[in-house]
Every structure is written in structure tokens, then in C-alpha cells.
């Protein structure tokens, strides 16, 4: 049953048309559909459905090397997902999603398709990424983030959100259609963001107003302070450090000029 040894479990169902790299593991009861291409060393755990045919059935699914897809995950055909992808359990990723390297997606997340996601982004549990969302590099979406896209529900309008590099969206936040979360901005827990947010801004409250610059966010007992890439580099591979340092500088640039409601 253990899928960690580069083996295809006898109860796994792998389509003839699927292309598996070296040392790929497919766990018990998992299903790999035709048109799936899985990179070297990737582990698919148990009970997964990989390459499920969607609206554009037949277009291939690419999962990069070194990835880990946890149990009960569902990934549709028609996406290209970069190396070292990690999904939690019971994840859904719909078609036409393009993700960079080392995306991590928590348990029960739902990525609704047509999304573009950069490198090294991290989504926690129950994050819901609406169709067409644009998400940058090093972005954090904490639990129960909802990125909407319909400005007059229900309608056929589609106005997805944009989340720029290094932004942090805390638990229980709703992002209304079309908002742009600027580079390195920080959205506090429970906020509802109705307007775009400048780079480096901290927003809070149900109306998501700007209260501060992230460089003012600190944790007194430890002395740690934002931007978070100052103190949180563990969990990122070494090759990402130079990009994190560059991003930190860019976020700090406007720290003396940002307009907040405290002024």
C-alpha cells in the first residue's frame, strides 16, 4: 500500500496513454487517466483521480517531477503544474490551471480552473480560488480564503482577482471580484476586500481599509517583524532565497509614502 517506493500499486489503474517518469509511485486505488504526464519521482497517494476529463476532454495534464499528491485528490486534465507540487488531501484542481514550481495546496482546497499561479505559493485548507484568478509568486492564502469572480451573482460576468507576489491573505478572508492585492500586502483575518490594495499595505476590518504598512507588523515576544521573508525562509528551497530577498526590498520601498487611515 505504501506508495513511496517508486511502484505502481496493483490496485492502481493507469491508462495506457499515460506517461510516467522514472520512480513514479501510484498508490492503491488511484486512477490515472489517458493524457497524463507525470515527472520523475512524483508520488501519487491513494484514492486519487488524476487527469479526469473535463470540459476540454483530451487535453493533457502535466505534473512536474518531485511532486506529492495526497490521498483523495482530484486533478483534471488540461493543466500544467510545475515541479515539486504538493497537494493536501481531498483537493480539487480544475482544468487549464498553470502553476509554477513548488506550489503547495492544503486539504480541501478548490482551484476552479483557468488560473495562473506563480512559483512557491502556499494555500492552506479550504482555500477557494475562483476561475480565472491570477496569483503571483510566494503568495500565501490561509484557511477559508475565498477568491470570488462574479460581480453580480449570479451572472456570466467573470472578473477574477489578482494577487501579486508575496501577498499574505489570512484566515476567513473574502476577496471580492476584480480586486488587486498589491505586492507583499497583508489582509487580516476575516476581512472582506472590496477595493484594490496597494503594495505593502496592511488591511483590516470588514471593509478591508488600509491601516498600516507591513513593516509595522510585529510579534513582540519574538521580535519578529514583517515583511515575512525576513524571518521565514525555512520551507523554501535554497534556490529561492535570492528571489525572496529581492521581493523583501521591493515591498519595503513604499513604506514611508503609503497612505493609511491612521494618518
- For residue 1, give Cα distances in angstroms to 7, 38, 76, 230: 10, 20, 24, 41
Comparison of 85 and 126: residue with beta carbon closer to a second copy = 126
- For residue 55, give Cα distances in angstroms to 31, 114, 131, 178: 19, 12, 14, 25
Long-range contacts of the stretch 114-118 (C-beta < 8 A, 24+): 118/165
Would you count residue 49 as binding a second copy (CB under 8 A)? yes
CB 71 within 8 A of CB 45: yes
Would you count residue 108 as binding a second copy (CB under 8 A)? yes
Would you count residue 146 as binding a second copy (CB under 8 A)? yes
Tell me phi and psi for residue 116, to 5 degrees.
-115, 125
Q: How many CB atoms lie within 10 A of CB 257?
A: 9
Give the Cα separation of 48 and 136 in Å (integer). 27
Would you count residue 224 as binding a second copy (CB under 8 A)? yes
Would you count residue 143 as binding a second copy (CB under 8 A)? yes
Would you count residue 257 as binding a second copy (CB under 8 A)? no
* Least distance (Å) between residue 13 CB and a second copy: 5
Region near a second copy per CB under 8 A, out of 77-85, 153-161, 195-203, 245-253: 153-161
Would you count residue 123 as binding a second copy (CB under 8 A)? no
- Which of 42, 111, 19, 104 lies closest to 74 in space, CA to CA? 111
Q: How many CB atoms lie within 10 A of CB 232?
A: 13
Comparison of 245 and 259: residue with beta carbon closer to a second copy = 245
Pick from 39, 78, 82, 88: which binds a second copy (CB under 8 A)? 88
* Contact footprint for a second copy (CB under 8 A): 1-2, 4, 11, 13, 15, 28-29, 31, 33, 45-47, 49, 52-53, 71-72, 74, 88-90, 92, 107-108, 110, 122, 125-126, 128, 140, 142-144, 146, 148, 151-157, 168, 170-172, 174, 176, 189-190, 192, 206, 217-219, 222, 224, 226, 228, 231-232, 234
Amino acid at each position: 500500500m505504501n506508495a513511496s517506493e517508486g511502484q505502481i500499486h496493483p490496485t492502481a489503474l493507469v491508462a495506457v496513454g499515460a506517461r510516467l517518469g522514472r520512480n513514479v509511485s501510484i498508490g492503491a486505488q488511484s486512477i490515472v487517466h489517458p493524457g497524463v504526464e507525470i515527472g520523475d519521482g512524483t508520488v501519487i497517494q491513494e484514492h486519487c483521480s488524476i487527469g479526469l476529463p473535463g470540459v476540454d476532454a483530451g487535453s493533457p495534464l502535466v505534473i512536474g517531477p518531485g511532486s506529492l499528491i495526497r490521498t483523495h485528490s482530484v486533478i483534471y486534465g488540461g493543466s500544467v503544474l510545475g515541479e515539486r507540487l504538493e497537494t493536501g488531501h481531498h483537493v480539487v484542481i480544475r482544468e487549464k490551471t498553470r502553476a509554477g514550481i513548488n506550489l503547495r495546496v492544503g486539504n480541501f482546497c478548490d482551484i476552479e480552473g483557468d488560473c495562473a499561479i506563480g512559483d512557491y505559493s502556499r494555500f492552506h485548507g479550504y482555500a477557494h480560488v475562483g476561475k480565472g484568478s491570477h496569483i503571483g509568486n510566494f503568495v500565501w492564502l490561509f484557511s477559508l480564503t475565498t477568491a470570488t469572480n462574479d460581480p453580480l451573482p449570479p451572472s456570466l460576468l467573470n472578473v477574477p482577482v489578482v494577487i501579486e507576489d508575496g501577498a499574505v491573505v489570512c484566515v476567513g478572508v473574502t476577496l471580492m471580484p476584480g480586486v488587486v492585492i498589491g505586492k507583499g500586502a497583508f489582509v487580516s483575518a476575516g476581512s472582506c476586500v472590496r477595493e484594490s490594495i496597494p503594495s505593502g499595505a496592511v488591511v483590516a476590518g470588514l471593509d478591508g481599509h488600509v491601516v498600516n504598512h507591513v513593516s509595522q507588523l510585529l510579534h513582540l515576544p519574538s521580535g519578529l517583524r514583517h515583511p515575512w521573508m525576513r524571518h521565514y525562509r525555512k520551507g523554501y528551497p535554497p534556490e529561492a532565497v535570492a528571489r525572496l530577498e529581492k521581493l523583501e526590498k521591493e515591498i519595503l520601498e513604499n513604506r514611508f509614502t503609503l497612505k493609511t487611515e491612521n494618518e
